[in-house]
A and B are shown apart, each in its own frame.
Chain A
Amino acid sequence: MDEKKLIDGLKKKKVWAYEVLYDEYAPRLGSVVKSYLGYDDVEDVIQEVFIKVFKNVRKFRGDAKLSTWLYRIAVNVCKDTLVKRKRNNEFLTDFRESEDKVAFEPPATTNVFREVMDEISFEELMSVVERLAEDDRLLIKLRDIDDLSYEEIADILDKPVGTVKSRLHYARKRLKELLEEVGYIG
């Protein structure tokens, strides 16, 4: 659907527009939330995001893409959730616990991905990935998985592009070091 028409519908508080928005963006938003928070709270965060969209869509001027704006809301809600979670002394979700609940995407398409997937077990890699900080995981997810530009990521995180680049550099380096520690990268 045309994004402009969708935004008009959202601003006029049409339920069909929210249905379209849900169908189109809920999986992507859920994916970002999962990379940041783990499996817990994903549904709550998505509902909260939609409530925030409903309340604030009139403020959306269309300077950024709708998806960028939605990602930004989702990230902010995630941050709030994380603060609440830490305040309540909750533990971060174990990625392994959620594994059986995860609906997997179709297998990776490139040959390289298929090749490497045969060699290393998913569980072993997840134990490495979950050792990354939430912010690092999110940056890697947005850049290396969702393939967003540095500018879009900067918009989402409300940080300068330079900061995003340096933080992503650090996140990738950290992941590489963790993989080296366990011997996946020599």
Chain B
Amino acid sequence: MDEERFVRILDREIPFDKLRVDERKELKGYVKAIDALKESCCYKPSDELKKRTLSNVRKLKSRPYKILGTVAACLVLGIFSVSFFTGNTILIKKKGELYQLADVLGSSSSLNERLRVNLNAFTQGEAEGNNLVMMEKEMERSLGFLSESAVENDFEISGISTTY
């Protein structure tokens, strides 16, 4: 059988009952192979797969809400942190007899205040020269100061002012 006719038969353009005997015989093998392919491809999905697939769909459906929840939680935490650290201060005062005496006399706060003002004046003056370098230095100094043990430096934490 020529190719064209074979294709036309397979496309059902020529009805089966109009085929010659030799054509029918030739077609039989082909049809048999198609039938075998059909049977081998037959697929019945399991209930387990259905459960898994629908579970995936549910997960995908709830994902945006989960992301939204996480973002909201992070936002609340961020706002809380910012407000906490801006609304609270740590009071540091210089150690030493003069300051302890001032503490006793109740004027330590003014001494500490003067110390802070002087420190600010110093920082501003330097900053005019080179802001960035000074900021870095100041930061290093502060970090160094904070990492030092209480025995090694001349300052001590005198109190924590908090709004909480």
* B partners with A: yes
Q: Which residues of B contact A143 (CB under 8 A)?
A: 10
**Contact residues of A with B, CB < 8 Å?**
13, 15, 18-19, 22-23, 26-27, 30-35, 42-43, 46-47, 50-51, 54-55, 95, 98-99, 102-105, 108, 112-113, 115-117, 119-120, 122, 125-126, 128-129, 137, 140-141, 143-145, 169, 172-173, 175-176, 179, 184-186
Q: CA separation between A99 and B41, bound complex, in Å? A: 10
B82 to chain A, nearest CB (A): 36
| Chain B residues close to A by CB (< 8 Å) | 3, 6-7, 10, 16, 25-46, 49-50, 52-54, 56-58, 60-61
Question: Residue on B with the closest CB to A175?
Answer: B33
Check B54–A34 contact: CB distance below 8 A. Answer: no
Tell me whether A105 and B38 are in contact (CB under 8 A).
yes
**Cβ contact within 8 Å between B42 and A184:** no
Total number of residue pairs linking A and B with CB closer than 8 Å: 143
> What is the interface of chain A mostly: helix, strand, loop, or mixed?
helix
Report the minimum CB–CB distance from B16 to chain A (whole Å). 7
In the complex, which residue of chain A has the Cβ closest to the Cβ of B60?
Answer: A54
Q: Are A129 and B3 in contact (CB under 8 A)?
A: no
| Cβ A125 vs Cβ B30 within 8 A | no
The reply to whether B40 and A102 form a contact with Cβ atoms under 8 Å apart is yes
Chain A residues with CB below 8 A from B61, complex form:
13, 15, 54
Could you tell me the distance between the alpha carbons of A64 and B93 in the complex, rounded to whole angstroms?
79
Complex Cα–Cα for A182 and B72 (A): 68
Q: Is A22 a contact of B50 with CB atoms below 8 Å?
A: yes
Given contacts A27-B45, A172-B10, contact A116 B32 (CB under 8 A): yes
Q: Flag if A50 contacts B56 (CB, 8 Å).
A: yes
B10: chain A residues at CB < 8 Å are 143-144, 172
